[in-house]
Amino acid sequence: MDIKIYSTPTCPYCHLAKEYFSSKGVTYQDFDVSQDRQALEEMVKISGQMGVPIIVINNEVIVGFDRAKIDSLLAKS
């Protein structure tokens, strides 16, 4: 399973998403878009959004911390 989280250190929903994945024992790649310009450009390209978190699970883009959508995609894997 390929999971990426585009986040910033000050985003509370980013922290919730990362804590949620950790509580489920799910590994993910975290990209701090406040420090990584290339990750920021990639995030905007795939989502059309500037806000975080942007979560990508197996190429499915989730805007924000949408627990129901995350659970649905995790169940498929």
Residue-wise pLDDT tens digits, 1-22: 899 999 999 999 999 999 999 9
- 20 to each of 11, 26, 40, 50, how far by Cα in Å? 14, 9, 22, 22
- 1 to each of 10, 26, 53, 55, 57, how far by Cα in Å? 27, 9, 19, 13, 7
Q: Which two tokens mark 18? A: 């990362």
The pTM of this model reads: 0.95
| Domains contained in the chain, CATH given | 3-69 (3.40.30.10)
Residue-wise pLDDT tens digits, 21-76: 999 999 999 999 999 999 999 999 999 999 999 999 999 999 999 999 999 999 98
